[in-house]
Amino acid sequence: MLHTAPEATRPGSVLICRGSVSHDCPHDPVPIDAGGCLVSPGLVDIHVHGALGHDLTEPEPAAWRRVLDTHLHTGTTTALATLASTSPTETSTALATAAELIADQQAPTLAGVHLEGPCLAPEQRGAHDPAQLRTAAEVLRELTPLPDALRMVTLAPELPGADALISYLAEQGVRVSAGHSSATPEHLARAQRLGLSHLAHLWSGQSAMRRPALHRLPGLLEASLASDELTAEVIADGHHLPAVLLTIALRCLGPDRLCLVSDATAGTGLAPGSAFRTGASTGRVHDGYAATEDHTSLCGSVTPLGVTVARMRELTGASAWDVVTMATATPARAAGLYPRKGSLLPGADGDVVLFGPDLSVRAVILGGRLVTGGPPDGGR
């Protein structure tokens, strides 16, 4: 019996049989008493770059497994491996590594690849290496035929040729996200008609309102917050966005359209002062955050998604249920993975996180098997 926290929902149980949530099980399942914890679907991180000095643009499967395992132990049971802008060769090799890991079932938490770039606006590139940015036409050629593991692409929809790239990706079932962009509301509306459905990290790499003369002209940020349909990301690590901005995002979009993401880089788990690679760029770890070497831009985060859940509630006062939704069902929907991921509905994968009253991760279950925390005998 897995007892949920009273704040979130009523006490109940989740039955997992042969790796999936089920109404019944003909076997003899091992009970795990959650002890009043909040029982949540496993966390879904659709924007994660690396950990422990390893970046997911590396070609070695062992490096990928180490990154994914690190995030699994902090609650992320489903991840989109996010590749920052790098060379065409490194990108295609990393995509091939992902496809191999998925085909051989060597990385059970890997749900696909999210390309963050290289079709980005130079003036909004943030920590992306400007030498690796490419045109939409170049990226379209690189992605034809479509790589097997590709699930999401973040791009700047205002760039020349972006319409054709967006249409191609959407028609192939790839989720298209606007990010690192100077798009206007008109650009965003056109991209949405072509199939764009998501927005990368709000306030990071987004054009904002300007007033060139008498009138105020909204940018991508304002169009994002005014959207009625698009999902969007926030990085609630306590460094990217202050409480006021996180609260504005939540009030504008609500927990069913606002996704928590980690944007965790290879700097995650490294000591302050450590240098690391993300895509073709270099970052350095500071006290709780990472920045470019010249300290002019944040360089992803060093905070796993499981930690941002508690931080989002602390900074916004949102309910535990809403915050968990932002890290489970909402990103799963944004990536086209719901309800197999991000839910505890019958037929969903048996991925579970147990949160304590303070929303710290107490235990992680993947496919019905205890990964960390809980009783020592685990589950079946």
Place of tokens 């993975």: 337
d(CA 357, CA 291): 32
Statement to judge: residues 170 and 60 lie in one domain: yes
Decide if 368 contacts 17 (C-beta within 8 A).
Answer: yes
Statement to judge: residues 251 and 346 lie in one domain: no
Quick check: 364 pLDDT over 70?
yes
Task: Enter the tokens of residue 136.
Answer: 């939409």
Q: Is the pTM of this model over 0.85?
A: yes
d(CA 155, CA 222): 18
The pLDDT tens digits of the residues spanning 97-152 come to 999 999 999 999 999 999 999 999 999 999 999 999 999 999 999 999 999 999 99
Decide if 273 contacts 287 (C-beta within 8 A).
Answer: no
User: pLDDT tier at 157 (50, 70, 90 boundaries)?
Assistant: very high
Mean pLDDT of 46-71: 98
Looking at the chain, how many residues does it have? Answer: 380
Residue 313 has phi, psi (to 5 degrees) of: -65, -40
Statement to judge: residues 29 and 110 lie in one domain: no
Decide if 210 contacts 149 (C-beta within 8 A).
Answer: no
Task: Enter the tokens of residue 82.
Answer: 């996010």
Decide if 373 contacts 354 (C-beta within 8 A).
Answer: yes
Count of domains forming the chain: 2
DSSP state of 206: B
The pLDDT tens digits of the residues spanning 20-56 come to 999 998 888 888 889 889 999 999 999 999 999 999 9
* Helix, strand, coil shares, percent, the chain, to 5: 25, 25, 50
Statement to judge: residues 296 and 364 lie in one domain: no
Mean pLDDT of 321-333: 98
Helix, coil or strand: residue 114? strand
Statement to judge: residues 16 and 105 lie in one domain: no
The pLDDT tens digits of the residues spanning 162-220 come to 999 999 999 999 999 999 999 999 999 999 999 999 999 999 999 999 998 989 999 99
Statement to judge: residues 213 and 159 lie in one domain: yes
The pLDDT tens digits of the residues spanning 75-87 come to 999 999 999 999 9
Quick check: 8 pLDDT over 50?
no
Task: Enter the tokens of residue 162.
Answer: 């972006």
**Is the CA virtual torsion 363, 367, 369, 375 positive or negative?**
positive
Statement to judge: residues 110 and 167 lie in one domain: yes
Decide if 152 contacts 177 (C-beta within 8 A).
Answer: yes
Quick check: 377 pLDDT over 70?
no
Quick check: 227 pLDDT over 60?
yes
* Number of Cβ atoms within 10 Å of the Cβ of 28: 7
The pLDDT tens digits of the residues spanning 253-286 come to 999 999 999 999 999 999 999 999 999 899 999 9
* Number of Cβ atoms within 10 Å of the Cβ of 254: 13
CATH code of residue 13: 2.30.40.10
Statement to judge: residues 36 and 151 lie in one domain: no
Decide if 229 contacts 192 (C-beta within 8 A).
Answer: yes
| Confidence at residue 374, expressed as pLDDT on a 0 to 100 scale | 63
Q: Which residues pair with 260 in a beta bridge?
A: 234
Domain containing 153 equals: 43-340
Statement to judge: residues 249 and 372 lie in one domain: no
Which of 308, 325, 340 terminates a domain? The answer is 340
Statement to judge: residues 365 and 312 lie in one domain: no
Mean pLDDT of 299-312: 98
Decide if 62 contacts 53 (C-beta within 8 A).
Answer: no
Statement to judge: residues 69 and 92 lie in one domain: yes
Helix, coil or strand: residue 323? helix
Q: Would you list the DSSP string of 284-321? A: EE-SS-EEETTSSSB-SBS--HHHHHHHHHHHH---HH
Statement to judge: residues 310 and 372 lie in one domain: no
- Distance between first and last Cα of the chain: 14
User: pLDDT tier at 9 (50, 70, 90 boundaries)?
Assistant: low
Decide if 27 contacts 380 (C-beta within 8 A).
Answer: yes
In Å, how far from its chain's centre is CA 65?
17
| Confidence at residue 10, expressed as pLDDT on a 0 to 100 scale | 66
CATH code of residue 53: 3.20.20.140
Contacts of 295 (CB under 8 A, 6+ apart): none
